Amino acid sequence: MRRLCSDYLFEFAIRLMRVKRLTVIGSGYVGLSTAVALAELSHSVVAVDIDPAKIAVLKSGTSPIAEAGMDEGISRGLESGRLSFSTDVLNSVAGAEVVFLCLPTPQGDDGSADLSYIEAVARQIGPHLALGTVVVNKSTVPVGSSVQVGKWLGRTDVFVVSNPEFLRQGTALQDFLHPTRVVVGGDNEEAVEKVASLYAAVDAPILRMNAASAEALKYAANSFLATKLTFVNAIADICELVGADVFDVVSGLGLDPRIGDQFLNPGPGWGGSCFPKDTRALVKIAEGNGYDFALLRGVIQTNDEQYERIALKVVEVCGGSVSGKTIASWGLTFKANTDDLRDSPAIAILSTLKDMGATIRAYDPAARGVEMLPWVQRCDSALEACDGADALAVLTEWPEFASITPADVVSRLSAAVVVDGRNVLNPQQWKSSGFQYRGVGRS
Ligand code: UGA
């Protein structure tokens, strides 16, 4: 009996060793995805946020953000007892083996990342961490931040590791559980291995490196992707000028494995909560170290000009002025399958048109926070947005827009003109129905 009992205790101890007690501070899209996914990987996770309303929603088993599979993941985590939510930061970190910092790093006034949220939390939790705790920087932070966070924690007996995320909004859970790679950067081998072990059940290469390399890699990845898109958008603009079709050009480009066929859709310019902030931050990081990243500065500028180009296309189809005209927009979010309006190209373009005197009517199936834009008349359907408008602009690639036919909208618009900033409509179909059609990179 004694033997059986000790075997049981041994197994229980092994289980405790494998299943880590984790705390995730910040329950935005990165933090929440991290917490839910780590619970799916059998770890015991407390997700923390200072916003009591958000925590109340999460405790009820509902996601406050639109993310595929998130509601189900939260419910599974709560039911299994592996996932819990709290507003109590200090209680949540006491006894945690690993603490993830998933806090906002907004763009500061000079373009560099503002680390004030991270500093405040690091200073707050430092004295309350157990000896040997590993603090993980998951947020995108400038190179050198791991060292800086260590100083803010004010402890020499805890470790800081960089574990950047490569999650796309809308598919963040899927990306976490099926990543292309996991990156763990740090100077203490044991701490790096502890974080790497959290991903033992994930089928992806785990790259171990120093903290600076992991931090640099994250900025390099987002800046490269942004550069790729800006390049494609520039090629699209040139295609329009020379009578080429960007779809044909891109299909040939993508077959070269050195280029790859993903992330090549021309559009109104990139946006969202990551690319605009991270590209600017990398320019600042380079600048701070004596390197003028002229290439990336050019990419940012060209992207801003792309917003202008789309706005000007709308002006053009409206006969040279949008003053006193009404523009119908299909889409507001920065891409489809998210509810996020942060740094949305659609908002930048519509705001330019508004400043030129246009009235804006818009439909978006998911956008959150449109009430913060009082100049946007929000409509309940794509068709309603067209009522009485002088032109239609498609600014987010929601799949439902592709199935709307010209016949559905022609009688609602006061002129048959459309600027398809996402190339989601069939140009032949719209043109043959009498529409003046302008896409991106094709005539
Ligand atoms: C981006 C990266 O893709 C993620 O790997 C990264 O982890 C994340 O930033 C982050 O740093 O947290 P996300 O901002 O969710 O993810 O959006 P993307 O899907 O990358 O799209 C960014 C922008 O590029 C959007 O405005 C989108 O419409 C645009 N885009 C994307 C195009 O115009 N064409 C494309 O082919 C793809």
Position 14 scores a pLDDT of 39
Q: How confident is the model at residue 8 (pLDDT cuts 50, 70, 90)?
A: low
Average pLDDT score over residue span 236-260: 97
Question: Closest by alpha carbon to 45, among 27, 69, 57?
Answer: 27
Ligand 1 — pocket residues by CB below 6 A?
140, 165-169, 222, 225, 229, 263-265, 267, 270-272, 274-275, 334-335, 345
Residue whose CA is at the smallest distance from ligand 1 atom 24? 270
0.85 surpassed by pTM: yes
pLDDT of residue 236: 98
Residue nearest to atom 6 of ligand 1 (CA): 166
- The structure tokens listed for 104 are 């906002």
The DSSP line for 2-30 is: HHHHHHHHHHHHHHHHHS-EEEEE--SHH
For the cut 80, the answer to whether the pLDDT of residue 12 exceeds it is no
CA atoms within 13 A on the CB side of 142: 23
pLDDT surpasses 60 at 223:
yes
Q: How confident is the model at residue 16 (pLDDT cuts 50, 70, 90)?
A: very low
Q: For the chain, what is the mean pLDDT? A: 95
* Residues designated catalytic: 274
Per-residue tokens: 198: 């959290």
Task: Read off the pLDDT of residues 277-292 as tens digits, 9 standing for 90 and up.
Answer: 999 999 999 999 999 9
Is 90 exceeded by the pLDDT of residue 20? no
The pLDDT assigned to 10 comes to 41
For 289-321, write each residue's pLDDT tens digit. Answer: 999 999 999 999 999 999 999 999 999 999 999
CA of 277 to the centre of ligand 1 (A): 12
Q: What percent of the chain has pLDDT above 90?
A: 93
Residue 232 CB contacts under 8 Å (≥ 6 apart), including other chains:
246, 250, 264, 265, 266
Q: What does the pLDDT look like over 318-335, one tens digit per residue?
A: 999 999 999 999 999 999
Strand order across the 359-363 sheet: 376-378, 359-363, 326-330, 391-394, 417-420, 436-438
Mean pLDDT for the stretch of residues 337-358: 97
Q: What is the pLDDT of residue 13?
A: 41
Mean pLDDT within 101-127: 94
- Atom number in ligand 1 closest to CA 264: 36
Structure tokens at 31: 């933090």
On the question of pLDDT at 17 being above 90, the answer is no
Ligand 1 nearest-atom number relative to CA 269? 33
164 closest CA partner among 337, 34, 3: 34
Tokens at 290, concatenated: 């004596």
Q: What is the pLDDT of residue 19?
A: 60
